[in-house]
Structure 1
Protein backbone atom coordinates (compact mmCIF):
# COMPACT_ATOMS: atom_id res chain seq x y z
CA UNK A 1 0.00 0.00 0.00
CA UNK A 2 1.29 3.45 -0.86
CA UNK A 3 1.95 5.90 1.94
CA UNK A 4 -1.19 7.65 3.09
CA UNK A 5 -1.46 11.25 2.02
CA UNK A 6 -2.85 13.50 4.74
CA UNK A 7 -6.31 14.84 3.93
CA UNK A 8 -5.02 18.42 3.60
CA UNK A 9 -4.57 19.90 0.33
CA UNK A 10 -0.89 28.18 -4.18
CA UNK A 11 -1.02 31.20 -2.82
CA UNK A 12 1.38 31.76 -5.73
CA UNK A 13 0.18 28.86 -7.89
CA UNK A 14 -1.66 29.39 -11.14
CA UNK A 15 -5.07 28.45 -9.78
CA UNK A 16 -7.08 31.18 -11.45
CA UNK A 17 -8.43 32.35 -8.07
CA UNK A 18 -8.57 35.96 -7.02
CA UNK A 19 -6.70 37.19 -3.94
CA UNK A 20 -9.93 37.81 -2.05
CA UNK A 21 -10.95 34.15 -2.25
CA UNK A 22 -7.57 32.88 -1.09
CA UNK A 23 -7.39 35.32 1.80
CA UNK A 24 -10.89 34.34 2.88
CA UNK A 25 -9.74 30.74 3.15
CA UNK A 26 -6.59 31.81 5.00
CA UNK A 27 -8.49 33.76 7.64
CA UNK A 28 -10.49 30.68 8.61
CA UNK A 29 -7.73 28.08 8.95
CA UNK A 30 -7.60 26.92 12.56
CA UNK A 31 -4.60 25.55 14.43
CA UNK A 32 -5.84 22.23 15.75
CA UNK A 33 -5.22 18.60 16.63
CA UNK A 34 -7.63 15.99 15.29
CA UNK A 35 -7.74 12.33 16.35
CA UNK A 36 -9.46 9.74 14.18
CA UNK A 37 -10.43 6.15 14.90
CA UNK A 38 -9.60 3.85 11.98
CA UNK A 39 -11.46 0.75 10.85
CA UNK A 40 -11.78 -1.46 7.80
CA UNK A 41 -14.37 -0.21 5.35
CA UNK A 42 -14.61 -2.79 2.58
CA UNK A 43 -12.18 -5.52 1.49
CA UNK A 44 -12.21 -7.86 -1.48
CA UNK A 45 -11.22 -11.52 -1.19
CA UNK A 46 -8.09 -10.69 -3.19
CA UNK A 47 -6.90 -8.22 -0.54
CA UNK A 48 -6.68 -10.98 2.08
CA UNK A 49 -7.49 -8.43 4.78
CA UNK A 50 -9.80 -9.52 7.61
CA UNK A 51 -9.61 -6.45 9.87
CA UNK A 52 -7.97 -3.05 10.29
CA UNK A 53 -7.84 -1.09 13.54
CA UNK A 54 -5.88 1.99 14.51
CA UNK A 55 -5.68 5.71 15.19
CA UNK A 56 -4.63 8.71 13.16
CA UNK A 57 -3.47 11.97 14.71
CA UNK A 58 -3.10 15.15 12.68
CA UNK A 59 -1.83 18.46 14.08
CA UNK A 60 -1.77 21.74 12.17
CA UNK A 61 -0.21 25.00 13.39
CA UNK A 62 1.13 28.26 11.99
CA UNK A 63 -0.08 31.28 10.09
CA UNK A 64 0.31 33.26 6.88
CA UNK A 65 3.11 35.23 8.58
CA UNK A 66 5.28 32.39 9.87
CA UNK A 67 4.40 29.44 7.66
CA UNK A 68 2.71 26.16 8.55
CA UNK A 69 3.84 23.10 10.48
CA UNK A 70 2.03 19.78 10.37
CA UNK A 71 2.64 16.56 12.26
CA UNK A 72 0.88 13.42 11.25
CA UNK A 73 0.89 9.91 12.74
CA UNK A 74 -0.98 6.96 11.29
CA UNK A 75 -0.87 3.76 13.37
CA UNK A 76 -2.67 0.77 11.94
CA UNK A 77 -2.86 -2.95 12.67
CA UNK A 78 -3.69 -5.13 9.68
CA UNK A 79 -4.98 -8.65 10.21
CA UNK A 80 -4.91 -11.28 7.45
CA UNK A 81 -5.22 -15.05 7.42
CA UNK A 82 -1.43 -15.38 7.48
CA UNK A 83 -0.17 -12.52 9.62
CA UNK A 84 -0.89 -9.64 11.98
CA UNK A 85 1.26 -6.56 11.30
CA UNK A 86 1.57 -3.15 12.92
CA UNK A 87 2.33 -0.16 10.67
CA UNK A 88 3.29 3.24 12.08
CA UNK A 89 3.74 6.16 9.68
CA UNK A 90 5.07 9.44 11.11
CA UNK A 91 5.37 12.66 9.10
CA UNK A 92 6.52 16.17 10.00
CA UNK A 93 6.42 19.02 7.48
CA UNK A 94 6.95 22.76 7.24
CA UNK A 95 5.58 24.86 4.38
CA UNK A 96 6.45 28.52 4.07
CA UNK A 97 3.61 31.00 3.72
CA UNK A 98 4.35 31.74 0.06
CA UNK A 99 4.15 28.11 -1.00
CA UNK A 100 7.75 28.19 -2.22
CA UNK A 101 9.50 25.86 0.25
CA UNK A 102 8.37 22.55 1.69
CA UNK A 103 10.44 20.59 4.23
CA UNK A 104 9.46 17.01 5.09
CA UNK A 105 10.49 14.00 7.15
CA UNK A 106 8.62 10.71 6.65
CA UNK A 107 9.31 7.66 8.82
CA UNK A 108 7.64 4.29 8.46
CA UNK A 109 7.88 1.61 11.16
CA UNK A 110 6.79 -2.01 10.69
CA UNK A 111 6.24 -3.98 13.90
CA UNK A 112 8.05 -1.21 15.83
CA UNK A 113 11.20 -1.37 13.67
CA UNK A 114 12.17 1.51 11.38
CA UNK A 115 11.56 0.34 7.82
CA UNK A 116 12.09 3.56 5.86
CA UNK A 117 12.96 7.23 6.33
CA UNK A 118 12.70 9.92 3.66
CA UNK A 119 13.89 13.44 4.45
CA UNK A 120 14.30 16.45 2.21
CA UNK A 121 13.30 19.92 1.10
CA UNK A 122 11.42 20.95 -2.04
CA UNK A 123 11.65 24.43 -3.52
CA UNK A 124 9.29 25.77 -6.18
CA UNK A 125 10.01 28.64 -8.54
CA UNK A 126 8.48 29.80 -11.78
CA UNK A 127 10.16 27.05 -13.79
CA UNK A 128 9.71 23.90 -11.71
CA UNK A 129 10.22 22.17 -8.37
CA UNK A 130 13.65 21.11 -7.09
CA UNK A 131 13.69 18.33 -4.47
CA UNK A 132 16.89 17.83 -2.46
CA UNK A 133 16.89 14.61 -0.43
CA UNK A 134 19.22 13.88 2.48
CA UNK A 135 17.66 10.48 3.35
CA UNK A 136 17.64 7.63 2.51
CA UNK A 137 20.51 9.00 0.41
CA UNK A 138 21.56 12.34 -1.01
CA UNK A 139 20.03 12.99 -4.40
CA UNK A 140 18.20 15.71 -6.31
CA UNK A 141 15.08 15.54 -8.46
CA UNK A 142 13.85 18.24 -10.82
CA UNK A 143 10.07 18.09 -11.18
CA UNK A 144 7.35 20.20 -12.75
CA UNK A 145 5.88 23.26 -11.09
CA UNK A 146 3.27 22.21 -8.51
CA UNK A 147 1.57 22.97 -5.21
CA UNK A 148 2.46 21.85 -1.71
CA UNK A 149 -0.18 20.52 0.77
CA UNK A 150 -1.30 23.72 2.54
CA UNK A 151 -1.53 25.59 -0.75
CA UNK A 152 -3.53 22.65 -2.10
CA UNK A 153 -5.91 22.96 0.86
CA UNK A 154 -6.32 26.71 0.39
CA UNK A 155 -7.19 26.16 -3.24
CA UNK A 156 -9.82 23.56 -2.31
CA UNK A 157 -11.41 25.89 0.25
CA UNK A 158 -11.49 28.77 -2.21
CA UNK A 159 -13.04 26.54 -4.86
CA UNK A 160 -15.63 25.32 -2.34
CA UNK A 161 -16.60 28.87 -1.42
CA UNK A 162 -16.97 29.81 -5.08
CA UNK A 163 -19.45 27.00 -5.75
CA UNK A 164 -17.46 23.78 -5.72
CA UNK A 165 -17.61 21.40 -8.66
CA UNK A 166 -14.76 19.54 -10.36
CA UNK A 167 -11.21 20.64 -11.10
CA UNK A 168 -7.73 19.19 -11.55
CA UNK A 169 -4.46 20.31 -10.04
CA UNK A 170 -1.11 18.81 -9.02
CA UNK A 171 0.54 18.10 -5.68
CA UNK A 172 3.93 17.29 -4.18
CA UNK A 173 3.80 16.13 -0.55
CA UNK A 174 7.05 14.20 -0.07
CA UNK A 175 5.37 10.80 0.19
CA UNK A 176 6.78 7.50 -1.08
CA UNK A 177 10.21 8.20 -2.68
CA UNK A 178 9.59 11.97 -2.82
CA UNK A 179 10.38 11.99 -6.52
CA UNK A 180 6.93 12.43 -8.07
CA UNK A 181 4.31 15.09 -8.66
CA UNK A 182 0.84 13.56 -8.67
CA UNK A 183 -2.22 14.73 -10.54
CA UNK A 184 -5.26 15.23 -8.31
CA UNK A 185 -8.85 15.31 -9.52
CA UNK A 186 -10.99 17.12 -6.93
CA UNK A 187 -14.78 17.03 -6.67
CA UNK A 188 -16.49 19.36 -4.19
CA UNK A 189 -20.20 19.11 -3.42
CA UNK A 190 -22.66 21.67 -2.11
CA UNK A 191 -22.39 22.87 1.52
CA UNK A 192 -24.34 21.00 4.17
CA UNK A 193 -25.10 21.45 7.86
CA UNK A 194 -24.28 18.94 10.60
CA UNK A 195 -27.33 16.76 11.13
CA UNK A 196 -28.71 15.96 14.57
CA UNK A 197 -27.80 12.27 14.21
CA UNK A 198 -24.31 12.85 12.78
CA UNK A 199 -22.00 10.31 14.56
CA UNK A 200 -19.21 12.93 14.70
CA UNK A 201 -21.44 15.74 15.97
CA UNK A 202 -20.05 15.60 19.51
CA UNK A 203 -16.39 15.58 18.42
CA UNK A 204 -17.02 18.49 16.03
CA UNK A 205 -18.92 20.56 18.61
CA UNK A 206 -16.03 23.05 19.01
CA UNK A 207 -16.38 24.17 15.41
CA UNK A 208 -18.41 27.31 15.00
CA UNK A 209 -18.67 26.68 11.28
CA UNK A 210 -21.24 23.91 11.48
CA UNK A 211 -21.52 23.62 7.70
CA UNK A 212 -19.14 21.61 5.55
CA UNK A 213 -18.48 20.44 1.98
CA UNK A 214 -18.24 16.80 0.85
CA UNK A 215 -14.94 16.38 -1.03
CA UNK A 216 -13.39 13.55 -3.01
CA UNK A 217 -9.79 13.64 -4.23
CA UNK A 218 -8.50 11.05 -6.71
CA UNK A 219 -4.72 10.64 -7.06
CA UNK A 220 -3.08 9.71 -10.37
CA UNK A 221 0.54 9.11 -11.29
CA UNK A 222 1.65 11.54 -13.97
CA UNK A 223 1.84 10.01 -17.46
CA UNK A 224 1.86 11.24 -21.04
CA UNK A 225 -1.36 9.43 -21.95
CA UNK A 226 -3.77 8.94 -19.06
CA UNK A 227 -6.95 8.23 -21.03
CA UNK A 228 -9.64 6.78 -18.75
CA UNK A 229 -7.07 5.62 -16.22
CA UNK A 230 -8.26 4.46 -12.81
CA UNK A 231 -6.76 6.50 -9.93
CA UNK A 232 -4.10 4.93 -7.73
CA UNK A 233 -6.45 5.65 -4.84
CA UNK A 234 -8.97 8.24 -3.72
CA UNK A 235 -9.92 9.91 -0.46
CA UNK A 236 -13.36 11.22 0.48
CA UNK A 237 -14.03 13.45 3.48
CA UNK A 238 -16.07 16.31 4.87
CA UNK A 239 -14.23 19.65 4.79
CA UNK A 240 -15.09 22.47 7.19
CA UNK A 241 -14.31 26.10 6.43
CA UNK A 242 -11.77 26.05 9.28
CA UNK A 243 -9.70 23.41 7.45
CA UNK A 244 -10.78 20.60 9.80
CA UNK A 245 -11.69 17.36 8.03
CA UNK A 246 -13.76 14.38 9.19
CA UNK A 247 -15.64 11.28 7.99
CA UNK A 248 -12.61 10.05 6.08
CA UNK A 249 -12.77 7.22 3.57
CA UNK A 250 -9.50 6.10 1.96
CA UNK A 251 -10.13 3.82 -0.99
CA UNK A 252 -7.19 1.72 -2.25
CA UNK A 253 -9.19 -0.39 -4.68
CA UNK A 254 -8.92 -3.83 -3.07
CA UNK A 255 -9.82 -2.37 0.31
CA UNK A 256 -10.81 0.86 2.01
CA UNK A 257 -10.14 2.45 5.41
CA UNK A 258 -12.60 4.64 7.30
CA UNK A 259 -11.59 7.34 9.77
CA UNK A 260 -14.05 8.77 12.28
CA UNK A 261 -13.25 11.99 14.15
CA UNK A 262 -13.29 11.19 17.87
CA UNK A 263 -11.46 14.15 19.41
CA UNK A 264 -10.72 17.72 18.37
CA UNK A 265 -8.54 20.30 20.15
CA UNK A 266 -8.32 23.90 18.97
CA UNK A 267 -5.21 25.98 19.68
CA UNK A 268 -4.99 29.70 20.28
CA UNK A 269 -3.76 31.68 17.24
CA UNK A 270 -0.07 32.54 17.34
CA UNK A 271 0.50 36.03 18.70
CA UNK A 272 3.08 37.49 16.34
CA UNK A 273 3.95 40.62 14.45
CA UNK A 274 1.90 41.60 11.45
CA UNK A 275 3.15 40.20 8.18
CA UNK A 276 5.64 42.41 6.43
CA UNK A 277 4.97 43.12 2.75
Structure 2
Protein backbone atom coordinates (compact mmCIF):
# COMPACT_ATOMS: atom_id res chain seq x y z
CA UNK A 1 0.00 0.00 0.00
CA UNK A 2 1.41 3.36 -0.99
CA UNK A 3 1.42 5.74 1.98
CA UNK A 4 1.90 9.46 1.41
CA UNK A 5 0.87 11.18 4.65
CA UNK A 6 2.37 11.03 8.11
CA UNK A 7 -0.91 9.81 9.62
CA UNK A 8 -1.28 7.05 7.06
CA UNK A 9 2.34 6.03 7.53
CA UNK A 10 1.75 5.75 11.28
CA UNK A 11 -1.35 3.66 10.72
CA UNK A 12 0.41 1.32 8.32
CA UNK A 13 3.15 0.75 10.87
CA UNK A 14 0.91 0.09 13.88
CA UNK A 15 -2.33 -1.36 12.52
CA UNK A 16 -1.29 -3.87 9.90
CA UNK A 17 0.33 -7.06 11.09
CA UNK A 18 3.07 -8.68 9.01
CA UNK A 19 1.83 -11.61 6.93
CA UNK A 20 2.39 -14.97 8.57
CA UNK A 21 3.90 -17.91 6.76
CA UNK A 22 1.01 -19.61 5.03
CA UNK A 23 -1.22 -16.53 5.15
CA UNK A 24 -3.22 -15.59 2.07
CA UNK A 25 -1.31 -13.07 -0.11
CA UNK A 26 -2.55 -9.55 0.64
CA UNK A 27 -3.35 -10.24 4.30
CA UNK A 28 -0.84 -7.61 5.39
CA UNK A 29 -2.81 -4.93 3.50
CA UNK A 30 -6.02 -5.40 5.49
CA UNK A 31 -6.88 -2.70 7.99
CA UNK A 32 -8.23 -3.62 11.42
CA UNK A 33 -11.09 -1.17 11.94
CA UNK A 34 -14.56 -0.30 13.19
CA UNK A 35 -17.07 1.06 10.70
CA UNK A 36 -20.63 2.31 11.02
CA UNK A 37 -23.03 2.42 8.07
CA UNK A 38 -26.36 4.19 7.68
CA UNK A 39 -28.93 2.04 5.88
CA UNK A 40 -31.74 3.48 3.75
CA UNK A 41 -34.14 2.16 1.13
CA UNK A 42 -32.61 2.35 -2.34
CA UNK A 43 -35.38 0.87 -4.50
CA UNK A 44 -38.34 -1.54 -4.49
CA UNK A 45 -39.56 -3.90 -7.17
CA UNK A 46 -43.06 -4.10 -8.60
CA UNK A 47 -45.70 -5.36 -6.14
CA UNK A 48 -43.30 -5.18 -3.18
CA UNK A 49 -45.02 -4.56 0.14
CA UNK A 50 -42.06 -2.61 1.61
CA UNK A 51 -42.28 1.17 1.29
CA UNK A 52 -39.58 2.26 3.71
CA UNK A 53 -36.41 0.82 5.22
CA UNK A 54 -33.91 2.39 7.59
CA UNK A 55 -31.30 1.14 9.96
CA UNK A 56 -27.65 0.82 10.89
CA UNK A 57 -24.86 -1.69 10.44
CA UNK A 58 -21.81 -1.81 12.69
CA UNK A 59 -18.77 -3.76 11.53
CA UNK A 60 -15.56 -4.50 13.38
CA UNK A 61 -12.51 -6.51 12.36
CA UNK A 62 -9.63 -7.03 14.79
CA UNK A 63 -6.18 -8.43 14.12
CA UNK A 64 -5.89 -11.53 16.33
CA UNK A 65 -2.34 -12.21 15.08
CA UNK A 66 -2.89 -15.60 13.43
CA UNK A 67 -6.56 -14.89 12.70
CA UNK A 68 -9.05 -12.13 11.94
CA UNK A 69 -11.83 -11.62 14.52
CA UNK A 70 -14.88 -9.87 13.11
CA UNK A 71 -18.32 -8.83 14.35
CA UNK A 72 -21.22 -7.41 12.36
CA UNK A 73 -24.37 -6.04 14.00
CA UNK A 74 -27.26 -5.14 11.74
CA UNK A 75 -30.64 -3.54 12.53
CA UNK A 76 -33.24 -2.75 9.89
CA UNK A 77 -36.74 -1.35 10.37
CA UNK A 78 -39.15 -2.09 7.52
CA UNK A 79 -42.47 -0.34 6.90
CA UNK A 80 -45.17 -1.77 4.63
CA UNK A 81 -48.05 -0.22 2.71
CA UNK A 82 -50.41 -0.71 5.67
CA UNK A 83 -48.19 1.25 8.03
CA UNK A 84 -46.86 -1.76 9.90
CA UNK A 85 -43.26 -1.51 11.14
CA UNK A 86 -41.08 -4.55 11.77
CA UNK A 87 -37.60 -4.44 13.27
CA UNK A 88 -35.14 -7.18 12.35
CA UNK A 89 -31.66 -7.53 13.81
CA UNK A 90 -28.66 -9.82 13.49
CA UNK A 91 -25.45 -10.28 15.45
CA UNK A 92 -22.77 -12.18 13.53
CA UNK A 93 -19.22 -12.91 14.67
CA UNK A 94 -16.34 -14.96 13.26
CA UNK A 95 -12.76 -15.94 13.98
CA UNK A 96 -11.04 -16.77 10.68
CA UNK A 97 -7.52 -18.21 10.46
CA UNK A 98 -5.30 -16.08 8.24
CA UNK A 99 -4.27 -19.14 6.25
CA UNK A 100 -7.92 -19.85 5.43
CA UNK A 101 -7.95 -23.22 7.20
CA UNK A 102 -10.68 -22.67 9.79
CA UNK A 103 -13.61 -20.50 10.80
CA UNK A 104 -15.49 -20.23 14.08
CA UNK A 105 -18.86 -18.57 13.58
CA UNK A 106 -21.98 -17.45 15.42
CA UNK A 107 -25.14 -15.76 14.11
CA UNK A 108 -28.26 -14.74 16.04
CA UNK A 109 -31.23 -13.20 14.22
CA UNK A 110 -34.22 -11.55 15.90
CA UNK A 111 -37.53 -10.07 14.79
CA UNK A 112 -39.23 -7.60 17.12
CA UNK A 113 -36.87 -8.71 19.87
CA UNK A 114 -37.67 -12.43 19.59
CA UNK A 115 -34.93 -14.81 18.44
CA UNK A 116 -35.87 -16.35 15.09
CA UNK A 117 -32.64 -18.13 14.17
CA UNK A 118 -29.31 -19.20 15.64
CA UNK A 119 -26.38 -20.70 13.75
CA UNK A 120 -23.02 -21.47 15.38
CA UNK A 121 -20.11 -23.84 14.97
CA UNK A 122 -16.73 -24.34 13.38
CA UNK A 123 -15.55 -25.17 9.88
CA UNK A 124 -12.22 -26.64 8.82
CA UNK A 125 -10.92 -26.61 5.26
CA UNK A 126 -8.39 -28.64 3.29
CA UNK A 127 -7.49 -28.49 -0.43
CA UNK A 128 -9.90 -31.40 -0.93
CA UNK A 129 -12.85 -29.64 0.75
CA UNK A 130 -13.73 -29.58 4.41
CA UNK A 131 -16.51 -29.87 6.93
CA UNK A 132 -18.71 -27.54 8.96
CA UNK A 133 -19.74 -28.86 12.36
CA UNK A 134 -22.62 -26.96 13.96
CA UNK A 135 -23.38 -26.56 17.65
CA UNK A 136 -26.58 -24.79 16.58
CA UNK A 137 -28.56 -26.42 15.06
CA UNK A 138 -27.22 -29.18 17.29
CA UNK A 139 -25.62 -32.30 15.84
CA UNK A 140 -25.59 -30.90 12.30
CA UNK A 141 -22.69 -31.35 9.88
CA UNK A 142 -22.16 -30.34 6.27
CA UNK A 143 -19.37 -31.38 3.92
CA UNK A 144 -17.77 -28.47 2.08
CA UNK A 145 -16.74 -28.82 -1.57
CA UNK A 146 -13.19 -28.55 -2.85
CA UNK A 147 -12.24 -24.95 -3.50
CA UNK A 148 -14.40 -23.53 -0.69
CA UNK A 149 -13.11 -20.20 0.64
CA UNK A 150 -13.84 -18.25 3.81
CA UNK A 151 -15.08 -14.61 3.93
CA UNK A 152 -11.80 -12.73 4.41
CA UNK A 153 -9.99 -14.94 1.92
CA UNK A 154 -12.78 -14.23 -0.56
CA UNK A 155 -12.32 -10.48 -0.07
CA UNK A 156 -8.56 -10.76 -0.55
CA UNK A 157 -8.94 -12.79 -3.74
CA UNK A 158 -11.54 -10.41 -5.13
CA UNK A 159 -9.21 -7.46 -4.52
CA UNK A 160 -6.29 -9.36 -6.07
CA UNK A 161 -8.43 -10.13 -9.12
CA UNK A 162 -9.38 -6.46 -9.47
CA UNK A 163 -5.72 -5.44 -9.15
CA UNK A 164 -4.82 -7.93 -11.90
CA UNK A 165 -7.52 -6.67 -14.24
CA UNK A 166 -9.82 -9.70 -13.96
CA UNK A 167 -13.57 -9.19 -14.32
CA UNK A 168 -15.08 -12.40 -12.92
CA UNK A 169 -14.29 -14.93 -10.19
CA UNK A 170 -16.40 -17.84 -8.94
CA UNK A 171 -15.99 -20.00 -5.84
CA UNK A 172 -17.99 -21.79 -3.15
CA UNK A 173 -18.05 -19.54 -0.07
CA UNK A 174 -18.69 -20.62 3.50
CA UNK A 175 -19.42 -17.84 6.00
CA UNK A 176 -21.43 -19.64 8.70
CA UNK A 177 -24.64 -17.69 8.17
CA UNK A 178 -26.63 -20.78 7.19
CA UNK A 179 -26.87 -24.38 8.34
CA UNK A 180 -26.88 -25.41 4.67
CA UNK A 181 -23.12 -25.22 4.25
CA UNK A 182 -21.32 -23.40 1.44
CA UNK A 183 -22.98 -21.24 -1.21
CA UNK A 184 -21.82 -20.79 -4.78
CA UNK A 185 -20.75 -17.21 -5.47
CA UNK A 186 -20.01 -15.22 -8.57
CA UNK A 187 -18.14 -11.93 -8.17
CA UNK A 188 -18.28 -9.44 -11.03
CA UNK A 189 -15.70 -6.63 -10.89
CA UNK A 190 -16.94 -3.47 -12.57
CA UNK A 191 -14.88 -0.47 -13.60
CA UNK A 192 -11.47 -2.00 -12.99
CA UNK A 193 -8.83 -0.96 -10.45
CA UNK A 194 -9.56 2.70 -9.72
CA UNK A 195 -6.85 5.22 -8.83
CA UNK A 196 -6.96 7.11 -5.49
CA UNK A 197 -9.46 9.96 -5.28
CA UNK A 198 -9.88 12.87 -2.85
CA UNK A 199 -11.91 11.78 0.18
CA UNK A 200 -12.46 14.66 2.63
CA UNK A 201 -14.74 12.58 4.86
CA UNK A 202 -12.23 9.75 5.26
CA UNK A 203 -8.66 10.92 4.50
CA UNK A 204 -7.35 7.46 5.37
CA UNK A 205 -8.92 6.19 2.13
CA UNK A 206 -7.79 9.06 -0.10
CA UNK A 207 -4.43 7.50 -1.03
CA UNK A 208 -5.80 4.02 -1.79
CA UNK A 209 -6.89 2.28 -4.97
CA UNK A 210 -10.35 0.74 -5.00
CA UNK A 211 -12.66 -1.50 -6.99
CA UNK A 212 -16.39 -1.85 -7.36
CA UNK A 213 -17.77 -5.36 -7.37
CA UNK A 214 -21.02 -7.29 -7.18
CA UNK A 215 -21.23 -10.62 -5.38
CA UNK A 216 -24.14 -12.96 -6.14
CA UNK A 217 -24.92 -15.89 -3.82
CA UNK A 218 -26.56 -19.09 -5.06
CA UNK A 219 -27.61 -22.31 -3.35
CA UNK A 220 -25.24 -25.20 -4.00
CA UNK A 221 -25.69 -26.47 -7.54
CA UNK A 222 -27.29 -23.18 -8.63
CA UNK A 223 -26.99 -22.13 -12.24
CA UNK A 224 -24.82 -19.13 -11.46
CA UNK A 225 -21.79 -20.87 -10.06
CA UNK A 226 -19.73 -20.78 -13.25
CA UNK A 227 -21.02 -18.02 -15.49
CA UNK A 228 -22.99 -15.56 -13.35
CA UNK A 229 -26.28 -16.55 -15.00
CA UNK A 230 -29.49 -17.39 -13.17
CA UNK A 231 -31.24 -15.67 -10.29
CA UNK A 232 -29.20 -15.35 -7.09
CA UNK A 233 -30.64 -15.90 -3.63
CA UNK A 234 -29.00 -12.69 -2.49
CA UNK A 235 -26.73 -10.05 -3.98
CA UNK A 236 -24.50 -7.35 -2.56
CA UNK A 237 -22.55 -4.63 -4.36
CA UNK A 238 -19.80 -2.55 -2.78
CA UNK A 239 -16.77 -0.39 -3.33
CA UNK A 240 -13.78 -1.98 -1.64
CA UNK A 241 -10.57 -0.09 -0.99
CA UNK A 242 -7.32 -2.04 -1.14
CA UNK A 243 -7.15 -2.16 2.68
CA UNK A 244 -10.47 -4.06 2.82
CA UNK A 245 -12.66 -1.11 3.88
CA UNK A 246 -15.96 -0.71 2.03
CA UNK A 247 -17.58 2.73 1.97
CA UNK A 248 -20.62 2.08 -0.26
CA UNK A 249 -22.93 -0.95 -0.15
CA UNK A 250 -26.09 -2.07 -1.89
CA UNK A 251 -27.85 -5.14 -0.48
CA UNK A 252 -30.43 -6.74 -2.75
CA UNK A 253 -33.02 -8.72 -0.77
CA UNK A 254 -35.21 -9.54 -3.79
CA UNK A 255 -38.27 -7.35 -3.21
CA UNK A 256 -36.18 -4.34 -2.23
CA UNK A 257 -32.63 -2.97 -2.22
CA UNK A 258 -30.98 -1.29 0.77
CA UNK A 259 -28.23 1.30 0.40
CA UNK A 260 -25.44 1.48 2.99
CA UNK A 261 -23.14 4.49 3.40
CA UNK A 262 -20.06 4.66 5.58
CA UNK A 263 -20.62 7.17 8.38
CA UNK A 264 -17.78 6.45 10.77
CA UNK A 265 -14.39 4.77 10.38
CA UNK A 266 -11.96 4.09 13.23
CA UNK A 267 -8.73 2.10 12.82
CA UNK A 268 -7.94 -0.45 15.57
CA UNK A 269 -4.29 -0.81 16.62
CA UNK A 270 -2.87 -4.32 16.34
CA UNK A 271 -1.61 -6.06 19.49
CA UNK A 272 0.69 -8.25 17.41
CA UNK A 273 4.41 -7.66 17.14
Q: Which sits farther off after the overlay, 28-37 or 208-217?
A: 208-217
Find the aligned partners of 1:229 and 1:238 in 2 and give their Cα distance.
23
Once the 2 structures are TM-superposed, how far is the Cα of residue 163 of structure 1 from its aligned partner? Answer: 1.5
Matched, 1:221 2:219: yes
For residue 106 of structure 1, what is the aligned residue in structure 2?
107
Once the 2 structures are TM-superposed, how far is the Cα of residue 224 of structure 1 from its aligned partner? Answer: 6.7
Find the aligned partners of 1:270 and 1:77 in 2 and give their Cα distance.
37
Find the aligned partners of 2:40 and 2:138 in 1 and give their Cα distance.
35
Contact kept? 2:143, 2:181, Cα under 8 Å:
no
The size of the alignment, in residue pairs, is 247
The Cα offsets for residues 63-118 of structure 1, whole Å up to 9 and x where unpaired, read as 6x421100000111000124211111100100112211110000011112222211
After superposition, residues 163-182 of structure 1 pair within 5 angstroms as: 163-177=165-179, 179-182=180-183
* SS of residue paired to 1:147: coil
For residue 248 of structure 2, what is the aligned residue in structure 1?
247
1:22–1:259: structure 2 CA closer, same or farther, 3 Å change rule?
A: same
The Cα offsets for residues 192-235 of structure 1, whole Å up to 9 and x where unpaired, read as 24656xxxx34422235343111111112122766842222221
Alignment TM-score, normalising by the size of structure 2: 0.83
After superposition, residues 246-265 of structure 1 pair within 5 angstroms as: 246-265=247-266
1:130–1:220: structure 2 CA closer, same or farther, 3 Å change rule?
A: same
Contact kept? 1:38, 1:54, Cα under 8 Å:
yes
Contact kept? 1:206, 1:264, Cα under 8 Å:
no
Q: Specify every segment of 5 or more residues in structure 2 that has no aligned partner in the other structure, as ranges.
A: 1-20
Once the 2 structures are TM-superposed, how far is the Cα of residue 271 of structure 1 from its aligned partner? Answer: 2.7
For residue 89 of structure 2, what is the aligned residue in structure 1?
88
Q: Specify every segment of 5 or more residues in structure 1 that has no aligned partner in the other structure, as ranges.
A: 1-18, 273-277
Contact kept? 1:89, 1:108, Cα under 8 Å:
yes
Structure 1 vs Structure 2 CA RMSD:
2.2
Once the 2 structures are TM-superposed, how far is the Cα of residue 141 of structure 1 from its aligned partner? Answer: 1.6
Match for 1:155 among 154, 157, 172? 157
For residue 3 of structure 2, what is the aligned residue in structure 1?
none
For residue 57 of structure 2, what is the aligned residue in structure 1?
56
Matched, 1:73 2:73: yes
